[in-house]
Amino acid sequence: MAKVTFQLKGARELQQAIAKRPMMMATQTKTIVAKHGALLKTKTVQNMAAAYTAGYSTGEAGIRGTVDTVFSNAGMTATVAPHKEYFPYLEFGTRFMSARPTLNPAFAYQSVQFVNDLKKMMK
């Protein structure tokens, strides 16, 4: 089974600035990570509601009900992922089915907002 992984790496200058002010920045960064992790989950579930309209994929029993947000690295990392084995087939498609991306568009939108909040914190 293929594993879907998305990762956002910040600009080198931003990482260096955060490292210079670790105590104050760590608390603010954790808050921003938590905020955008939750928003990413919400946006992904909204995208799923629009894209997955067949009976098997609706409701809590469907794939939308399996999307979780897990925090690691002392709150500095948020992982948003659905826990269904067939999710990569929906996201990327197969030779028999076209792709119905939900997580990637949500990530593309939310990552811009996340970086903007980090830049505001640096000012």
Q: What are the residue boundaries of the structural domains of the chain, listed by start?
A: 51-118
Tell me the C-alpha distance between 31 and 104, whole Å.
23
Tell me the C-alpha distance between 60 and 119, whole Å.
36
Q: How far is CA 75 from CA 30, 35, 45, in A?
A: 5, 11, 22
Cα dihedral 74, 76, 82, 83 sign: negative
pLDDT digits (tens, 9 = 90+) for 17-61: 666 666 666 788 889 999 999 999 999 999 998 888 776 555 556
Both tokens of 73, joined, read 């690295």
pTM, entire model: 0.77
